[in-house]
DNA sequence: GAAAAAGATTACCGATCAGTACATTTACAA
DNA sequence: TTGTAAATGTACTGATCGGTAATCTTTTTC
């Protein structure tokens, strides 16, 4: 049981689900796009939902790792790193193939709150918010959870409007609002990169 | 050609699409849920996509009417009315059957930017932002479009986190951030209702 | 080099997909 | 009362849905 083949499936399935949606993508489409036979898929995952869950888990880990690492690269101070979230978002928005947040899509397509896929999507947001809360605490915010939650609101809003509106306007306004919030919450000036 | 029957179809189709998604809802499901025969449906709309477009148009009009009217009811000053957006959102979040924004879902399920359904969803956000811009101008904001866009970001973010996280936390933080933004942009104090 | 594990191939299952054909019923207007 | 159009029920199309079974080929492992 090589893990590489399974990872390859999950990674390619992510791209198809991300671009075309979960319900709109059939297993036969995945066979065609990935070149992996259906038998092999169902050896690794007994249902389509389990494959989707595996895709969400992989994306969750990679997405959070990438964002936190890049935020730390772009600024020195904790407060600056929080603001840099919106520069990382900016980079992401302008990548080729960007079409929104996989977890927002998952939450939208699997609305039932008891559905494991919905739960997994919600979990991603919860963990991310906890990471932001830790950063806000480091930055000396009066109410770290409060600041982190407000930045989360700005982040999700920016993503939605990047898809349905103007990327640059969305990120500019989200970042502007974030700067005001961070400065108000920490009492320190933060320079926009 | 009575318009009431067609409206009834669109209205009931909205509820099913809203709750279960577009791709996940088949035309046979709509027949079962609405009690309207498939033949009648295809008399009014020649494709499923056209029905979806009609649903979006109806929802767009009713949603914007309701929100602007309720915002005006809840506050007297223009600035207060803008902040009241988040009280109206709060009411909406706690309605039975709330499960997010139909236009965010439409934009997520129909990702192609040239798809008429995606265009229609984006148009809803654009018109709403124009309405907010007019209100921000009335409220004396230095840069009305800037304030309106920032409030849009907060609104969309609150909706996403109301679905995938905690409704009360989302609305509390969005409103708190909005108050700071409105006061900064207009230079006047705004009381939270 | 042989056993065994993994993958591919192909064909298939019943159910559902969007959409259509057609004959029947309802409702309203002349 | 009759003519007409809207609305209906039923049955159907070919395609696709998620998932399975059996057979064959490749790769790994001892």
Give the pLDDT confidence of B13-45 residue by residue, as tens digits. Answer: 999 999 999 999 999 999 998 889 899 999 999
Which pLDDT band holds residue A191 (cuts at 50, 70, 90)?
A: confident
Interface residues of B toward A, Cβ cutoff 8 Å, are 19-21, 23-24, 99-100, 103-105, 107-109, 111, 118, 121-122, 125-126, 129, 146, 149-150, 152-161, 163-165, 169-170, 173-174, 176-177, 180-181, 184
In chain A, where the domains are located: 56-186
CB B88 within 8 A of CB B152: no
Cα distances (Å, whole numbers) of residue B2 to B7, B18, B123: 9, 25, 28
Residue B98 backbone zone (phi > 0: left; psi -120 to 50: alpha; other: beta) = beta
Whether residue A158 has pLDDT greater than 70 = yes
Q: Is the dihedral of CA A25, A26, A28, A34 positive or negative?
A: positive
Which of B21, B23, B118 is facing A111, going by the closest CB pair?
Answer: B21
Domain A56-186: give its CATH superfamily.
Answer: Tetracycline Repressor, domain 2 (1.10.357.10)
Sort out which chain B residues have CB atoms less than 8 A from A163's CB and list them.
Answer: 107-108, 111
* B100–A161 C-beta distance less than 8 A: no
Q: Which two tokens stand for residue A188?
A: 């320190």
Tens of pLDDT along A93-148? 999 999 999 999 999 999 999 999 999 999 999 999 999 999 999 999 999 999 99
The owner of tokens 């479009």 is B145
């Amino acid at each position: 049981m090589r893990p590489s083949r399974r990872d390859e499936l999950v990674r390619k399935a992510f791209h198809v689900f991300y671009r075309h949606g979960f319900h709109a993508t059939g297993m036969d489409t995945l066979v065609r796009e990935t070149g992996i036979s259906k038998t092999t898929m169902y050896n690794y995952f007994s249902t389509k939902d389990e494959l989707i869950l595996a895709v969400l888990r992989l994306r969750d880990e990679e997405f959070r790792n990438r964002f936190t690492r890049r935020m730390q690269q772009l600024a020195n101070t904790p407060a600056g790193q929080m603001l840099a979230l919106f520069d990382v978002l900016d980079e992401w928005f302008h990548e080729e193939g960007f079409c929104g947040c996989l977890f927002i899509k998952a939450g939208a397509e699997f609305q039932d709150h008891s559905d494991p896929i919905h739960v997994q999507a919600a979990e991603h947001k919860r963990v991310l918010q906890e990471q932001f809360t830790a950063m806000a605490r480091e930055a000396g915010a009066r109410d770290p959870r409060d600041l982190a939650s407000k930045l989360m609101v700005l982040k999700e809003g920016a993503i939605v409007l990047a898809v349905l509106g103007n990327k640059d306007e969305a990120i500019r306004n989200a970042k502007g609002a974030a700067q005001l919030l961070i400065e108000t919450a920490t009492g320190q000036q933060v320079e926009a990169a």
